[in-house]
Amino acid sequence: MRIRVPLLLSILLAVAVLVIPSRARAACSSGTELIQTFPVAGPAVSQWRFCYEIVRMPDESGAETQSETLVIREAEFRPGASATPIRVLGEVRMAEIFVPYHSGDPRFHDLTEYAFDLQPLTPTECPATRLDGHRICQEIGDRGLTWRDPYFALARRGEKLVLWSILNAANYDYMMRYEFFDDGTMEVHAASTGRKYGGPDDTAGHMHNFAWRVDLDVAGAGGDTATLRGVRIGPSVKDADKTITREGGFKWDAKAFTHLEVTDGSAVNGRGRPVGYTLAPTREGVAKFPEAWTKYPMWVTRNHPGELRARDVATYAADHEPVAGQDIVVWFTDSHNHENDMRDEDREVVPLSYLGFRLEPQNVWDTTPFYP
């Protein structure tokens, strides 16, 4: 028999506040500031603040001359009208688009071998707000039912802010998409659309591998520790967690529900529980190739200036620096397979198919977000 929790007790439990080291708010160190409060209509409860910028990826020598990428920097989230904002991200960017063909050749690195540009968007493509020379689309949208209390007549639909851009890479366009939810969750997506390399009759299979660099700065740049979380399933389900102590690559196991959590020992919520963010994959599968950086779908490294290329992450991690309690970067790769002799729905223009990951708050709130 399930026990009904008194509504008054639930309300009283919601008054605790986030406790993090105090700091003065600074303007964007680079890029343009954007602030979005939720709900969009009515008294503000939660708030995202971050900076956005279009930059070029570096070449092998570090010169930022290659393809453009949309970067989110200095993102912080306020989990309540009177709560202290918590830093979530130092930076997140798409850091490579790797397109190997099934035959083994060609093998394109569209972000670091070329100098492709983000495209101006038309009102048809972006009927909302267009930013930065119309190259960024800003949309506010409904994200559906977020929770429903089975004991009380209470339910809530959520909202989100979305920023996206499109990179043209010859015959393909690539979507770079960031979604900021009213509960502090972020979703990071990529997608490809366009024409097959050899035209409509091209039956050659290929893969699109999107790699992101995620500088998770939970409650600030330093003091972050990553834990690889999962389960072992048998007659019972047991936790199978591992604290990451040194740089390296890590496997993803669908059977273990693998995800990666980053916490900061200096930050606790109003219940005294450690505050963190989880990187949760939403993947189709894992693609491994001869290139060293593709051997693992997730990597953790120390954050060093200039280490921005996903294809070089195996080199960055080669000295196995300590990462527990440090300023760290998580690297994540997801893959989409276009099969040999692809379906006819892909014949003229390949429709968008999204993949990516979620960044989910862990104990950032003291109770269910927006519960009365």
CA 196 to chain centre: 27
pLDDT tens sequence across 119-163: 999 999 999 999 999 999 999 999 999 999 999 999 999 999 999
- Non-local (6+) Cβ contacts of 138 within 8 A are 34, 128, 129, 130, 131, 161, 162, 163
Indicate the helix (H) or strand (E) that contains 338.
strand 328-338
What pLDDT band is residue 26 in, cutting at 50, 70 and 90? low
Structural domains in the chain, sorted by start: 31-362 (2.70.98.20)
- Non-local (6+) Cβ contacts of 235 within 8 A are none
Residue given tokens 């009365």 in the structure block: 372
Higher pLDDT among residues 175 and 7, named by residue: 175
What pLDDT band is residue 296 in, cutting at 50, 70 and 90? very high
Higher pLDDT among residues 103 and 47, named by residue: 47
CA quadruple 213, 136, 44, 180: dihedral positive or negative?
negative
Beta bridge partners of 229: 259
pTM of the model: 0.91
Residue type (1 letter), 239: D
pLDDT tens sequence across 62-97: 999 999 999 999 999 999 999 999 999 999 999 999
Residue 206's φ and ψ, nearest 5 degrees, are -155, 170
CA 259 to chain centre: 13
What pLDDT band is residue 339 in, cutting at 50, 70 and 90? confident
Residue type (1 letter), 266: S
pLDDT tens sequence across 211-242: 999 999 999 888 999 999 999 999 999 999 99
d(CA 359, CA 218): 11
Q: Which two tokens stand for residue 174?
A: 């690539």
Res 198: pLDDT: 80
d(CA 69, CA 48): 21
Whether the ω angle into residue 372 lies within 30 degrees of 0, i.e. cis, is no
Res 20: pLDDT: 44
Residue given tokens 């490294």 in the structure block: 301
Does the pLDDT at position 201 exceed 90? no
What DSSP designation does 43 have?
A: S
